[in-house]
Structure 1
Amino acid sequence: MKTNRRTETLSIAPTTHISFPIGPLLLSEKMFTALDLPSLFSPLKKKGIDISTLIKSLTAYKLTDNFSIKHAHTWLMQPDTREWYNLPSFTEKTLYRLLEILGKNSAFIISGLQDRIFSRYHFAHTDVNLDWTSLVLHGSASPLGKYGYSRDHRPDKQQITLGITELAHPVNVPIGVTVKPGNVNDVTHFRSTFLQSQKKLTQGSLVIFDKGAGSKQNLELVGACRHDYLTAKKLNTSDDKIIETFWQRDPIKINPEEKEPNQGVYGIKIVKPGSVNYFYFSEGLEAQNLDTLSRKVYRQFLEAEMIQECISRKKKLPKKIGISNPLVKITYSVQTKLVQMSEEEALAYLRERLNTGRGGFFALTSSRNLTLAEALERYRKKDSIEKIFHSLKNEIEIKPLRVWTENSIRGAILIGFLAQLFVSLVRYEVPEAQHVATKFIKYSLMNLTVTMMKGKQGGRRCLFSNFDALNTAILGLKYGAG
């Protein structure tokens, strides 16, 4: 008969050993060496603390539980972090001055980064995705801060706009970043984002962007630089004639192997002098459009019913419909068609008036003659740049931005961009990390810790722990060795 042996109570004695995450520091060190970044940054500041070491440490901090520059200074001033980077004591102002230097030299830095990226890596192509987003700016003193269309759903806050250039699938590495005031739209922002990287593109590269940046001038600019473009097309009244005859033009089914019902995509191609238009009909998109139309019809029906009830009872219209201003006097009469229609007739009337006839249809345009499937696939894979935006905002955490000078904001964005570049290059180089989200790459790197063991004689030794298959692959170590 077996009996359970009673375990003894653990006896824990406090020690002076310090442990902290080392993976992000090792990755930053590895990338700085691989891309020879000290030679890029060192000429920017020749006196005082080595600027390359400060940038390397801030980039590593971005890959940890980063918060603000103030917290970054606290982290750097910890004895073990200072010892790791061989840093003297300094104040927070040193880091803010560093951001100023980076922002002032941002064009030079991006150009130097591109030189080093393309010198080290021989990418299969130089097709690029371009896209833009906005970042909330807390405060109102920065000249970059303007009110504009907020992708962060904060129209009450000033913002800046951010443009990213990314090498398209399967590379998916960002090679450029531009910063503009918050009221600059995509059409205007396109020029600086495109020109920042276009010299690194081989002739005939495909530049892919959404219809928000599409304009005649921008398309001509891409062509003048001897590249091709692929973008979504804004549907207009002339396109309605093509849509009306779409099914008479013998459209091709793009995904004939699709097994899901109502998910087919059909397309026709119209070749014009200098460009090709691709028109598509998606059964799945049509279902979404019809659902949206139904909700809109019902909302307008309920609003009309409310107005009719006010008229019947001789009540004032709600403020959201009328104008509430003591300085404005308006005399008007309101009537609805509901008194002449049944509910079914009213809903049918609304559906007919609100239906544009474009439900399920969308179009692309390109200067390159691609197949219908190629054009659709390449444009859809542009969403990889949205993942970069999500990573920058939520994992690298370049937001929230505080009220700083214009150069400080640009400098802070550059630090975040460097951290994102390192993560993207890890995915490009390391098969084990290819499909791993940024946050899990960060978790794996942060799990790798070093314990600073103080000996009795005053010496120290480092004990590394928490290796896993991912962080060892990223850092080029042998997992399970020793």
Structure 2
Amino acid sequence: MSYKLTENQSITKGAEWINRDEVLDIFNLEYFEQRTLYRVLEIIGENYEEIIADVQDVLFEIFDFEHTDINMDWMSFILYGDKCPLGKYGYSRDHHPDKKQLTIGLSELFSPINVPIGMTVREGNVNDQIHLNDTFNQVSHRLREGSMIVLDKGANRKENLERIENSKLKFLTVRQINKSDESTWLKNFDKSMAELVDERYGVYGLKKKFPCRINYLFFSEDLYEKQIEAKLRKVERLFIEAEKIQQSIENKRKLPKKYRINNQLVECEYSYQTKLATLSESEAKNTLKKASITGREGFFCMVSNKDLTLREALAIYRQKDSIEKISNSLKNENENEIKPLRCWSDMSIYGALIVGFLAQLFISLIRFEHPELKHTSPKFIKISLMNLTLTVEYKKSGGKRHIFSNFNLLSQVILAQNQAIT
């Protein structure tokens, strides 16, 4: 843990870092070979489910958390090498579809606690809807009746929501806008008839109750402008592509390479025709706009089995970004990055992931116990701890005294209650 929260380089360098005389002395360890550290990771991995359960036992025994509402999120890690069975090709959130990956599920107690309590690992081709079963099973028995689970759209499916509800829990998630919404809500949406939920971003909302759930439809002026701008940029890009293809047709030249299949084993005859010959530039762009702009811009819809106000529903879902920050922290080289997972065994990978998870847990607990550090990033907490200086004073009697110095405001808040500041 100490290495993970300071240097945090490769496992190889981790063995070198720990095998220093000072570190071995402080932690009462003996010198060990590098391969021993890999074996330790395997042992940790073999027991990772028990470790998570023990962590949960300790957390809920020590802390009387004010609630057990949780956020759930899923992410992917690139797996370097092809020997590990966990590695599969799948939807890559890291934009590396050419590399195998594995998927991680995280559970975090909702704000203002923001402490991670669970982590599950699955193959890289397992989608969020399926992975939810493992993530839910790992933490559901820790949740009080009526607790809320906040999910993103990727894990939303009928069976998952029914399972949460059957466990006497609540849920809040985003759902896909469908044709029925277009005809009943979007087509006749009138801001003057809706509730102003967020004046800053121009968010308006409507609420529709059903026997077993409540739909919350929102329209955001800020989101509308961003989505329209993005689609207009797409229109310009498509128009330029059509122009280049039209020029190739008129000049009887080959199509630009980017529009052709570049594979010597594939034979393909191209037949292209554009509409630019019969349309003006404005007419062509209007055609593209009609195809790109659907009328759903700026709208999003949430669903829950708990009767919330529009403001509550929006605020709760927005605060889900805390678990996304934990996910980013586990990938950020300046925070608690889990180093590139190479072709180890499954158990070694589990072990490396658990170590990263526990390091993030320590940071989250520091922020939970010290509200003044609530919005301090893991990066600055780690830098503060790394800047601490340890002086070992050897006495004539043979004893030693460890003196910590070089405190700053952050490290004083974290350690002053346990250490003397010089």
- Say whether residues 1:386 and 2:324 are aligned partners: yes
Count of aligned pairs = 419
Shift of 1:117: 0.3
Which one has a bigger Cα radius of gyration?
Answer: 1
Map of 1:22 onto structure 2: none
Alignment deviations for residues 31-67 of structure 1 (CA, whole Å, 9 cap, x no partner): xxxxxxxxxxxxxxxxxxxxxxxxxxxx111100121
In the alignment, does 2:366 pair up with 1:423? no
Q: How does 1:53-64 map to 2 (within 5 A)?
A: 59-64=1-6
Q: Is the contact between residue 9 and residue 339 of structure 2 (CA under 8 Å) also seen in structure 1?
A: no
Please, which runs of 5 or more residues in structure 2 have no aligned partner?
none
Q: Which residue among 263, 272, 275 is the counterpart of 1:337?
A: 275
Tell me the SS of whatever aligns to 2:404. strand
* Maintained 8 Å contact 1:140/1:403: yes
Shift, 1:152, TM fit: 2.2
Match of 2:188 in 1: 245
Which amino acid in the other structure matches residue 276 of structure 2?
A: L
Match of 1:305 among 243, 247, 255: 243
Q: In the alignment, which residue of structure 2 is the partner of 1:36? A: none
1:437 and 2:380 aligned: no
Higher mean displacement: 457-466 or 437-446? 457-466
Identity percentage over the alignment? 49
Q: TM-score normalized by structure 2?
A: 0.94
Q: Deviations over 1:225-279 (max 9, x none)?
A: 11111111111222211211221881111024x3xxxx30001011112011111
CA shift in 2, pair 1:104/1:334, >3 Å: same
Is the CA contact 1:134–1:159 (under 8 Å) kept in the aligned structure 2?
yes
Distance change (3 Å), C-alpha of 1:117 and 1:326: closer
- 1:198 CA drift (Å): 0.6
Q: Could you tell me how far apart the structure 2 residues matched to 1:359 and 1:217 are?
A: 28
Structure 1 476/197 Cα, relative in aligned 2: closer, same or farther at 3 Å? farther
Q: Which amino acid aligns with 2:407?
A: F
Contact map agreement 2:405 2:421 (CA 8 A) in 1 = no
What letter is aligned with 1:281?
A: F
- 3-state SS of paired residue (1:300): helix
- Matched with 2:208 is 270
Instruction: Give RMSD over aligned pairs.
Output: 2.0
Give CA-to-partner distance per residue, 1:54-82, whole Å, 9 cap, x none: xxxxx111100121222121112111111
Matched residue type, 1:413: L
- Which residue matches 1:286? 224
Whether contact under 8 Å (2:202, 2:220) holds in the other structure is: yes
1:409 is matched by which residue type in structure 2? I
Matched to 1:470, the amino acid is L
Tell me, yes or no, if the aligned pair for 1:135 and 1:399 is still in contact at 8 Å. Answer: no
Q: Give me the whole-angstrom Cα distance separating, in 2, the residues matched to 1:406 and 1:310.
A: 52
Q: Which residue of 2 aligns with 1:215?
A: 157
Contact 1:433 1:474 in 2 (8 A): no
Q: Is the 8 A contact 1:137 1:403 kept in 2?
A: yes
Counterparts of 1:452-463 in structure 2, within 5 Å, are: 452-454=392-394, 459-463=399-403
Contact 2:393 2:402 in 1 (8 A): yes
In structure 1, the residue corresponding to 2:111 is in which secondary structure? coil
Give the drift of 1:88. 1.6
2:290 to 335, 349, 352: 352
Q: Does the 8 Å contact 2:10/2:339 carry over to 1?
A: no
The equivalent residue for 2:415 is 475
**How many Å apart are 1:158 and its aligned residue?**
1.5
Match of 2:117 in 1: 175
For residues 412 and 180 of structure 2, what CA distance do their matches in structure 1 show? 58
Task: Give the corresponding residue for 2:345.
Answer: 405
- Cα separation, 2, equivalents of 1:141 and 1:176: 27
Conserved 8 A contact 1:469-1:479: no
Q: 3-state SS of the aligned residue for 2:207?
A: strand
Greater shift, 333-342 or 141-150, is seen at: 333-342
For 1:264 and 1:385, locate their aligned partners in 2 and report how far apart those are by CA, in whole Å: 25
Q: Is the 8 A contact 2:149 2:172 kept in 1?
A: yes
Matched AA of 2:9: F
TM-score (norm 1): 0.83
Q: CA deviation at 1:202?
A: 0.4
> Against the structure 1 CA distance between its residues 467 and 332, is the aligned structure 2 distance closer, same or farther, given a 3 Å change threshold?
closer
Equivalent of 1:125 in 67, 80, 104: 67
Out of 72, 76, 82, the residue aligned to residue 24 of structure 2 is 82
Q: In structure 1, what is the Cα distance between the partners aligned to 2:33 and 2:267?
A: 62
Task: Report what 2:52 is aligned to.
Answer: 110
| Deviation at residue 137 of structure 1 after TM alignment | 1.4
Deviation at 1:355? Answer: 1.1
Residues 270 and 278 in structure 1, CA contact (< 8 A), matched pair in contact too: yes
